[in-house]
Structure 1
Amino acid sequence: MSTSNENNFGVSSILERGTVNRTSVELLTLKDRVAVVTGGQGGLGLEMALAYAQAGAAVYCIDLAAQPNEHFKHVQKEKAGQSLKGRLEYVSCDVTKQDNIWTTVGQIADKEGRLDICVASAGVLKGADVLEYSAADFQKVMDVNVNGALFAAQAAGRAMVKHNARGSIILLADMAGNIANKGMHTTAFNASKAAVIQMARSIASELGSKGIRCNALSPGYVYTEMTKEFLRDNPSLEKEWRSQNPLNRIAKAQELQGIALFLASDASSFCTGSNMLVDGGDTAW
């Protein structure tokens, strides 16, 4: 829980108390905090997890595979060699199974004695012409992108309440939840991310009284393994994607670290129910 000392920063503290014990930069620290990140084995999930670990948090990366891949192991080893206290752990769990994710997150929180941060970033992308989109593919996208986000947020919220934590829940959405991406046949993905954005608002409204914040994070086009695979199958799209935002480029995954750290930390203590667009200005046009 927040204390008066934790709020002793800014101009008002200088004027009222004559001193501050935290600087604005120190608001971004996650020292001694505990985070769970679904879809944390790679992509934006691992990128965000690394940012949290480098800021001092113990981060549990949850993904479907029984064992982490070599990319994760390499990042985990590199982080272990750094002087900061934070660390990366791997846990296998299927986010589409409500009981499983509730149990997994609950066990992590009980082991650590707290849970401060949850990022629901597990997601899939299946493209097809809207008139041919199969029920099975549509359901798969919804199961992972929508149900998985809800179940993770539920699990985290329950653990935060149990351990009396004023936590932050971040649901990974997409600019496709705000617009229909030009030239892409991704009705199910777009619909799922629109649902996630509204889910974040609803969760924020319900859990605010418990001191728990919830926000959606909507990136634009970002180079991840998932998007690279999509571009391999649709090579003409890369130039078009670049042209669709004022910065005329596709984001690097690490460019999401800053906003992810902001949303997880005390720096965003009055930010909840928001949809944070990080799209290079794509939706501005």
Structure 2
Amino acid sequence: MSPALTTPVVNDVALAAATPASVSHSALFSLANKTVAITGGGRGLGITLAGAVLEAGGHVACLDILPEPAAAEWTALQKIAKASGLGLSYRRLDVTDEEALTQVFDEIDAEAAALGAPFYGCIACAGIQQKVPAIDYPQADFERIQRVNVTGTFLTAKHTARILVKNGVQGSIVLIASMSGQIANRGLTCTAYNTSKAAVQQMCRSLAQEWGQHGIRVNTLSPGYIRTAMTDDLLAAAPELEKIWMAGALLNRLGAPDDFKAPAIFLLGAGSSFMTGADLRVDGGHCASA
């Protein structure tokens, strides 16, 4: 018998080494006794993914530039956390402020240790969008998009990895990218946003190459068109976009935040323990029909 088959199941790497019959489906998608930080966790996709982590048994620290999270969604999360005996916290944070980010992540790490649920990873979901014709794009606005979507994502991943390396935890980092990192969206003048998401996908590959030696996995999740507060603002300003988007929707609908709960948990958990430096595109077939 191979030595790998007798290795005790103590972490994701050991789970991957175990025989398929010895690992339950629930264990592959469990985040029990783990703490996950989620930037952009105050509303939209981020707060939905926070609920997914709680449902998978994990503790959650939500971070967002908003003073407070969306009230109805946060109340629902509190009920889940209370019923399951899980930790749930919210902090206001600008992901481009490295000093503040360092302090907040150190606090989360300390709280996770106190809970007996070590800091395990993050979902870097914070991002902004702007629709401006490229020929008129102000330099300051273009740079702001890169600062939030690229630099903010990098700092989130960097400080997550620092804690994981310090604690000897073989964790998982999920960066929210977009199908817009691979295609040019018809009807949208969002060059800065698309550029930032392509950068996040390359960042993922580069970080995975550096941090694999520590057992840290880094992957991107690339949504297609989702109905969130951010996209609703775009559609309100340009209603004709929905018709253009639907033309490429092979499932005859746009995405909803709930469509990304299972993919995010898969990337975080042991079920994807041999997956790093990869992009998981969940776009309702949009890119297949381009």
- Measured against aligned partners, the alpha-carbon deviations of 1:78-118 in whole angstroms (never above 9, x if no partner) come to 32353x33342101111011121122112211221221121
Alignment of 1:256-267 (within 5 A): 256-267=260-271
Bigger Cα displacement from structure 2, 97-106 vs 122-131: 97-106
- Partner SS for 1:158: helix
Query: What CA distance in whole angstroms lies between the structure 1 residues aligned with 2:121 and 2:17?
Result: 24
The AA in structure 2 aligned to 1:234 is A
Q: Which residue of 1 aligns with 2:287?
A: 283
Paired letter, 2:159: A
Match of 1:101 in 2: 101
In the alignment, residue 47 of structure 1 is paired with which amino acid? T
Alignment of 1:103-252 (within 5 A): 103-113=103-113, 114-252=118-256
Q: In the TM superposition, what whole-angstrom CA distance separates every residue of 1:49-81 from its partner, at most 9, and x where no partner exists?
A: 110011111100001133334134323333235
TM score, norm. by length of structure 2 = 0.90
The amino acid of 2:37's aligned partner reads V
Identity of aligned residues (%): 36
Q: Deviations over 1:239-283 (max 9, x none)?
A: 221111321210111010010010010011001000110001111
User: Could you list the runs of 5+ residues in structure 2 that have no partner in the other structure?
Assistant: 1-6
> Structure 2: how far apart are the matches of 1:12 and 1:160?
27
Q: RMSD between aligned alpha carbons?
A: 1.7
Indicate the SS of the match to 1:256.
helix
Task: Kindly provide the amino acid, as one letter, of the partner of residue 158 in structure 1.
Answer: R
Partner of 1:17: none
Partner of 2:90: 90
Distance 2:15 2:221 in 1: 28
CA contact (8 A) 1:47 1:253 kept: yes
Write the distance in 2 (CA, Å) between the matches of 1:184 and 1:160.
39
Q: Give me the TM-score of the superposition, normalised by structure 1.
A: 0.92
**Range with bigger deviation, 124-133 or 244-253:** 244-253
Q: CA contact under 8 A between 1:56 and 1:87: conserved in structure 2?
A: no
Contact 1:56 1:85 survives alignment (8 Å): no
What SS class does the counterpart of residue 63 from structure 2 fall into? strand
Deviation, structure 1 residue 11? 8.4
Partner of 2:38: 37
| Residues 1:8 and 1:236: Cα distance change in structure 2 (over 3 Å) | closer
Distance 1:11 1:95, change over 3 A: closer
Moved more, 143-152 or 94-103: 94-103
Which position in structure 1 is the counterpart of 2:78?
A: 77
2:61 paired residue number: 60
User: What is the CA–CA distance in structure 1 between the aligned matches of 2:145 and 2:231, rounded to whole Å?
Assistant: 15
Q: Indicate how the Cα distance of structure 1 residues 219 and 23 shifts in structure 2: closer, same or farther if over 3 A, else same.
A: same
Shift of 1:12: 3.4
The 1:94–1:42 alpha-carbon spacing in structure 2 relative to 1, beyond 3 Å, is same
Equivalent position SS for 1:218 = strand
Is structure 2 residue 19 aligned with structure 1 residue 12?
A: yes
- After the TM superposition, which of the residue ranges 127-136 and 94-103 deviates more from structure 2? 94-103
CA contact (8 A) 1:93 1:100 kept: yes
- After superposition, the Cα gap between the structure-2 partners of 1:33 and 1:129, relative to the gap in structure 1 and judged at 3 Å, is same
The answer (yes or no) to whether the contact 2:43–2:69 under 8 Å persists in 1 is: no
* Helix, strand or coil at the partner of 1:242: helix
| Distance in 2 of aligned mates of 1:194 and 1:13 | 35
- Whether contact under 8 Å (2:41, 2:47) holds in the other structure is yes
Partner of 2:3: none
Q: AA paired with 1:142?
A: Q
Return the alpha-carbon distance in structure 1 between the equivalents of residues 254 and 27 of structure 2: 30
Measured after TM superposition, the shift of residue 29 of structure 1 is: 0.9
CA distance 1:171–1:13, shift in 2 (3 Å)? closer
Q: Distance in 2 between matches of 1:12 and 1:152?
A: 34
Is the alpha carbon distance of 1:108 and 1:272 closer, same or farther for their aligned partners in structure 2, counting shifts above 3 Å?
same
Amino acid at match of 1:173: A
Tell me how far apart the structure 2 counterparts of residues 112 and 124 of structure 1 sit (CA, whole Å).
Answer: 29
